[in-house]
Structure 1
């Protein structure tokens, strides 16, 4: 990746046409200022304007100057210059990449009305220079992040961002986040967001991340931003940070703009190895605006309360304490829709009444919500083939299974537990870490991972199962492999009940098992136009 390609990815396009248009507006407003100055000259109307000021100001008005001071051309033009410099800079993205010290210098010039004259020649020259320096600004920012997080200079650490970073003081002596280090971590996440074409995290995003890692996943690796980063926090306040190799080499390429000889080419070019370190990037990152909305949700009142006079009790909107409601205020409907989809992916059910909107769960969703906020992801339908089993279909499967209290039960693709909820103490297998969090919150025994990869281990460590209920992934014929593997775990006299594609009735049979079918059932899964049948397979 060259500096040019970095610029195309990071920097907003800018044209000189905007300067001409903005300067035309500036000339118009400056002429109007001059007209006002002429208008209030003492030989015109200026000798009576002080009556308007004296008669219309309130007691809190501290202006005590003369009319001449109030309508002085020099001060007005200085304010005009500052305003138009603010507008000109806002038309570009230079302030986003400018180092903090330089950015503060510009803010001071504008705030104190000390900006240069807004002449077309000066504006073009200044903006041109600033736009040309964006790559320098970005490299300085990334270099500053690297030094702050690694406490090393890149010349002493040629691997740059490719090597694990040891973070000190991520949490403090009181067990909360360390403001300075989480600030640097947030700066890094802002750059990574640019590389991933995402919106940028707000200042509080990494404070929340560290709190979640410390409180709920201490000593464990926690996927961050769709797997772009991994964070592990420890009891002593320190943390480890790893950056995915597809992100690390791009950060190193930016560092190399400042230190071209410090980082060997293998650390600043895309990896060409066939075998890479294992990272999971199967899940889609949500916009930070959506994650922030989810993080701010709180349970709505779920118990009886007395009215303001204390003479009667008011029935709450719900009696379910496991709920999350939208925070007070107006919210963008698109953000609410995306947040709702994320909550529904972990088993939330939406309700609306009396100008309130909330989602209810049949378990405590706190840790699952923390995982969404930290990782930025929810299981994707296509990558995980996650289509929750509708309640009616799940009940039909459970009825056909005829589960008794003494039966040993298995759910090989448990999702959020739609089938497991109808089983007796099932063992749940689930590939999604987030869904595993949901299953754990529901109190189910779970094994994280891909069922097909775990079959031999399950067979070695567990007794055969009396009942197996399953809704396997359908794509690429995976349903057949999953069903055949599950059948190998069935105990003598056991029963397997599976939701399968309707076409499988005429093409699929489990050798050695007595198979019967029910269905087909049409349009059972929202978002998927698929017909299904139910297989009942019994072992002798």
Structure 2
């Protein structure tokens, strides 16, 4: 079976499944063998069913007593397998896909499962794949509000508006508007080459979280789109410019007269102003589905000191809740082990402690992880450790800084590379500005009670804001000269008469004299340590104090 399934369009390429004829030859062989087996069970039932009824039903899963119904049920099973192997339904709009799936569930108009029918179905789909996929995108166009001038009827702009009549009409199981947004998520996911596409239930979950925070922007799917839901049901979506151009290119290839203009070249967006651009990885849709639907957040479970095996379990429970800590619990029984392992590896890096046994895994946190979990479900981005230079300060470094810090001497504080808040925990939350380039880390900081949390690159923030703080505590990124650059930026941020306490590589000690001369500050190396951070080798560390003189009155 040879099918033309390579879809390559100007500026837009889809990754499609490679279909091997051997796969289908094997499938048809298994189908015929299974059909013969079920027919044989039926004959046995007709002859001897009254003798061994339970055995036949158990062995064959046979509850239908006619050849026609047996064949129909088996046809349904194998059509589902064809859809799963080829992914052919992924290129249809949600309503068309659900219509086909519904016909299989309701046993309506089921075509015979034969080589001829399967081949015709695949050829009809993949030979017209460009048109089918473009029409899926076109269907999204048609779902946009015609009353808002932001929408363009001929191409995707970076901002789109969908005008639902109410929140219930947007989030409902059969919502037309929810289908449009789900189509958009799937189109973007396909263009990114993802094999595991978002499920309809996951789109409803994301819309529900937006509806719980009406009027606020929420970032979805690693920044591919940013979504705001209003109380009246209107949805505003901002799509990444490159993705919008990608989708326009596909439709332009099918409808060149309407969309010829979208194939013009666009200048690349400028990178971050920092000298290194941090990288984020994406949590897969499968792992995000588990997190949204199969994981609970509660107080951490601990062994009850009063429990003993011989005592009445209803009176003395084996486990009690530790209301000072929270846990995310995963099960050992989830069907997809790969997605479970992926999720657990992320939680392991984020949690404070773990409790693992044969029945469950507890990932324990010293803060309520609800905001963090919401970020992973909705946004999905996870900061890559090396480019983000996230090497959390150790307990020994924490204790050293605690000795140097006198919070009563200052009114305002700053942590410019706050991470998960290890050093920020030394500062009064209501008086502290925490900055971090990772949105996930920002959600964690908010969960720990810090009210002024800013999602930004510290170097960019200092250039665009004039506010100053009295005391800065920091463990900046070290690689590629960033320790020096971030230290100088912190001096710019510091108010006259203020203090910086910084964790730096020992190589920075040779630069302190130049810093004193350039910025008229005084420096002191308070500690010299050999320290091993998580995921690093042993490093030479200095903890320094930088004092900025008070402003002189003229």
Are residues 1:436 and 2:433 paired? no
1:525, CA displacement in angstroms?
3.1
TM-score by length of 1: 0.79
Specify whether residues 532 and 309 from structure 1 end up closer, same or farther in structure 2 by C-alpha distance, changes over 3 A only: closer
Residue 394 of structure 2 contacts residue 533 of structure 2 at CA under 8 Å; is this kept in 1? yes
Aligned pair partner of 1:394 in 398, 401, 404: 398
Residue 26 of structure 1 contacts residue 84 of structure 1 at CA under 8 Å; is this kept in 2? yes
Residue ranges of structure 2 left out of the alignment (5+ in a row): 1-5, 58-63, 550-554
Specify whether residues 481 and 442 from structure 1 end up closer, same or farther in structure 2 by C-alpha distance, changes over 3 A only: same
Any idea what the Cα deviations from partners look like across 1:219-259, whole Å, max 9, x if unmatched? 23221111110101223332211111111112222333543
Partner of 1:222: 218
Specify whether residues 326 and 221 from structure 1 end up closer, same or farther in structure 2 by C-alpha distance, changes over 3 A only: same
Mean Cα displacement is larger for which, 17-26 or 131-140? 17-26
Are residues 1:202 and 2:199 paired? yes
Are residues 1:320 and 2:314 paired? no
1:398, CA displacement in angstroms?
2.2
Are residues 1:253 and 2:258 paired? no
Are residues 1:235 and 2:231 paired? yes
Partner of 2:458: 451
Residue ranges of structure 1 left out of the alignment (5+ in a row): 41-45, 62-68
1:507, CA displacement in angstroms?
4.5
Residue 98 of structure 1 contacts residue 134 of structure 1 at CA under 8 Å; is this kept in 2? no
Specify whether residues 383 and 151 from structure 1 end up closer, same or farther in structure 2 by C-alpha distance, changes over 3 A only: farther
| Alignment of structure 1 residues 398-413 onto 2, 5 Å | 398-399=402-403, 401-408=404-411, 409-413=413-417
Are residues 1:141 and 2:144 paired? no
1:433, CA displacement in angstroms?
3.0
TM-score by length of 2: 0.77
DSSP 3-state at the match of 2:212: helix
Specify whether residues 457 and 19 from structure 1 end up closer, same or farther in structure 2 by C-alpha distance, changes over 3 A only: closer
Residue 351 of structure 1 contacts residue 357 of structure 1 at CA under 8 Å; is this kept in 2? yes
Aligned pair partner of 2:423 in 407, 419, 422: 419
1:210, CA displacement in angstroms?
1.9
1:406, CA displacement in angstroms?
3.1
CA RMSD of aligned residues (A): 4.2
Residue 504 of structure 2 contacts residue 543 of structure 2 at CA under 8 Å; is this kept in 1? yes
Residue 229 of structure 1 contacts residue 241 of structure 1 at CA under 8 Å; is this kept in 2? yes
Partner of 1:461: 467
Larger radius of gyration: 1
Alpha-carbon separation, structure 2, partners of 1:414 and 1:469: 9
Mean Cα displacement is larger for which, 473-482 or 327-336? 327-336
Any idea what the Cα deviations from partners look like across 1:422-450, whole Å, max 9, x if unmatched? 12443323333333333233232435222
Partner of 1:349: 353
DSSP 3-state at the match of 1:360: strand
Partner of 2:18: 13
1:54, CA displacement in angstroms?
2.9
Alpha-carbon separation, structure 1, partners of 2:225 and 2:76: 41
Q: Considering fraction of residues, name the structure with more strand.
A: 2
DSSP 3-state at the match of 1:387: coil
Residue 249 of structure 1 contacts residue 270 of structure 1 at CA under 8 Å; is this kept in 2? no
State how many pairs are aligned.
Answer: 512
Residue 436 of structure 1 contacts residue 446 of structure 1 at CA under 8 Å; is this kept in 2? no
1:515, CA displacement in angstroms?
2.4
Specify whether residues 94 and 441 from structure 1 end up closer, same or farther in structure 2 by C-alpha distance, changes over 3 A only: closer
